[in-house]
Amino acid sequence: MATVYNWQLGRNMSYPYNAAFPQWQFAFVFNLNRCLGCQTCTMACKSTWTFARGQEQMWWNNVETKPYGGFPQHWDTKILKIIEDIAPGSAVWNPALAAPNAPYGVFNGYTIFEAAARAGINEQAVGYLPPDKEWRFPNIYEDAATGYAGKPGEFSNPTGTTLPTHSQWFFYLPRLCNHCQYPACVAACPRKAIYKRPEDGIVLIDQSRCRGYRKCIEQCPYKKPMYNPYTRISEKCIACYPRVEGKDPLTGNVPTETRCMSSCPGKIRYQSLAQLNADGTWLNNPASPLYYMVHVEKVALPLYPQFGTQPNGYYIPPRWVPRPYLLQMFGPEVDSAIAKYMAPSRELVAILQLFRASQKIIFTYKRIDGPLLYSTTINGQPWSLYNDTVIGYGKDGAEIVRVTVEEPVHTRDANYYYNSI
Ligand code: SF4
Ligand code: SF4
């Protein structure tokens, strides 16, 4: 095992290979406060990549309803329990040790790689192979809320429910491969068939090398590689790499968002590429919306960072969900991230306008001051909204999109009808 630095854990950790960092890293931010659960992203991916024989049960993008849903079922609680059984009570963060290279503090528990070593098992990481029945339903328990802990026979709260957290709750969790910095799938593969591309950090399975041993499925904690029983090899999300490379003529050959990102009607998704320094840290660039949300305001947090793969999917946590649940899922910055989202800074308001503003990938942005729209107080603090203009720029610095905080209102001419029968 090599020693690598995992900034999400704030410490070194063991990993089977030496660290090798891409120049740019595919990454995304999902705002869970806005997801509709419409599954448009799921179907956009399905109809693009997984409609062939043997791919029937594959959903590279899925949207599950938490806390009960999961694809495969129980994927997160099962791996959390495996680690907990090996090192009971150890999964603890020390946020007091937060530093520039440890923004969430230090995680004192065991990653999936370290838990395997502690348990003395002859594997690179702990994991399990889900049985077929757990792959049957991509949206099992969709829209199922937690029960109302009130009087027996009562199914809803007669007095309603209010923030900061709701007594009955659920939220949608859209997921795809996180194209991790330290991928467990890469570590697990005995054929060395999985690799991380140096140009954009996208993790791919070489279909000509894979022999279908399914070690990637067993050891990816997010369960994002999937087995094709017809070809008898494994497949996974390819991050729509032809689009990210700028090879889709639709957008004039510039880097373009993946199908799941660009189809999202809820505008919950922002996708870009993070520029990395030689040591794997993110280039300090507050003009990058990705950098700003992840590293400046820390309003977007990684999914289960404690697994240790350093995932590149980041989430703005849902504000109505009990905090212990979110803390386990997103780490110790949850309270701060929700507080910042509920009373967003002028910069964050601007960046949120860029979610799904264009199919072309936005790399940097600029905000131009606009007039005051209104002022109020949030949590006892004064807060104002301005009608700023936000400009998104592509990789080459060319302007892609220009939007304002207040959406313009278009009124249709009363005498003009698009539909006439
Ligand atoms: S989410 Fe899983 S499949 Fe994707 S890169 Fe990470 S370990 Fe590999
Ligand atoms: S398309 Fe967007 S809003 Fe709809 S389920 Fe997917 S992430 Fe949520």
Best residue among 8, 128, 185, 216 to mutate for probing ligand 1's pocket (most ligand atoms within 8 Å of CB) is: 185
Our answer on whether the CB atom of 37 is closer than 6 Å to any ligand 2 atom is yes
- Name which of 83, 327, 55 is nearest 184 in CA terms: 83
152: left (phi over 0), alpha (psi -120 to 50) or beta: beta
Pick from 138, 137, 162, 157: nearest CA to 147: 157
Ligand 2 binding pocket includes 318 (Cβ within 6 Å): no
- The pLDDT score that the predictor gives to residue 161 is 77
- Rounded to an integer, what is the distance from CA 407 to the centroid of its chain? 27
With the most atoms of ligand 2 within 8 angstroms of its CB, the residue from 33, 63, 259, 315 to mutate is: 63
**Over the stretch 192-240, which tens digit does the pLDDT of each residue have?**
999 999 999 999 999 999 999 999 999 999 999 999 999 999 999 999 9
Query: Ligand 1 centroid vs 112 CA: distance in angstroms?
Result: 13
Centre of ligand 1 to C-alpha 1, Å, is 19
Pocket of ligand 1 contains residue 178 by CB under 6 Å:
yes
Q: Is the CB of 174 under 6 A from ligand 2?
A: yes
| Cβ(304)–Cβ(329) below 8 Å | yes
pLDDT of residue 419: 66
Mean pLDDT of the chain: 95
CA 69/CA 73 separation, integer angstroms: 7
> How many whole angstroms from 221 Cα to the centroid of ligand 1?
8
Farthest CA pair distance, the chain: 77
Whole-angstrom Cα distance, residue 346 to residue 249? 35
Alpha-carbon span 254 to 247, nearest angstrom: 7
Give the integer Cα–Cα distance in Å for 35 and 318.
Answer: 10
The pLDDT of residue 184 is above 90 = yes
With a 6 Å cutoff on the Cβ, whether 239 touches ligand 1 is: no
39 lines ligand 2 (CB under 6 A): yes
- Residue 417: pLDDT band by 50, 70, 90 thresholds? low
CB 35 less than 6 A from any atom of ligand 2: yes
Any idea which residue has 């199908």 for tokens? 259
151 or 375, higher pLDDT = 375
| Nearest-CA residue for atom 2 of ligand 2 | 264
pLDDT 10s digits, 269-318: 999 999 999 999 999 999 999 999 999 999 999 999 999 999 999 999 99
Give 332's DSSP letter.
T
Ligand nearest to the CA of 75: 1
Taking the centre of ligand 2 as the mean of its atom positions, its distance from the CA of residue 174, in whole angstroms, is 7
Q: What is the pLDDT of residues 106-136, one digit of tens each?
A: 999 999 999 999 999 999 999 999 999 999 9
Mean predicted confidence (pLDDT) in 236-245: 97
Ligand closest in space to the Cα of 15: 1
Quote the ligand 2 centre to 260 CA distance (angstroms).
8
CB contact at 8 A, 175 and 62: yes
pLDDT, tens digit, 9 for 90 and up, residues 78-94: 999 999 999 999 999 99
All domains of the chain in start order, with CATH: 2-342 (3.30.70.20)
d(CA 331, CA 329): 6
- Residue 421: per-residue pLDDT: 58
Residue pLDDT, tens place only, 18-52: 999 999 999 999 999 999 999 999 999 999 999 99
For residue 209, the tally of other CB atoms under 10 A from its CB is: 13
Q: What confidence tens digit (pLDDT) does each residue in 318-376 have?
A: 999 999 999 999 999 999 999 999 999 999 999 999 999 999 999 999 999 999 999 99
**pLDDT above 80 (res 65):** yes
Q: Would you say residue 100 has pLDDT above 80? A: yes
Q: How confident is the model at residue 167 (pLDDT cuts 50, 70, 90)?
A: confident
pLDDT > 70? residue 244: yes
Report the pLDDT averaged over residues 10-22. Answer: 97
Quick one: which of 111, 99, 60 has its CA closest to 309? 111
Alpha carbon of 30 to those of 41, 164, 188, 261: distances in Å?
12, 21, 28, 9
In 188-300 the beta strands, taken as DSSP E runs, fall at 194-196, 203-205, 226-228, 233-235, 269-275
Q: Are the beta carbons of 270 and 390 closer than 8 angstroms?
A: no
Q: Select from 34, 36, 175, 271 the residue to mutate for testing ligand 2; criterion: most ligand atoms less than 8 Å from CB.
A: 36
Test site for ligand 1: of 6, 224, 258, 312, most ligand atoms within 8 A of the Cβ: 224
Distance 34 CA to ligand 2 centre (A): 8
Q: Is the pLDDT of residue 150 over 90?
A: no
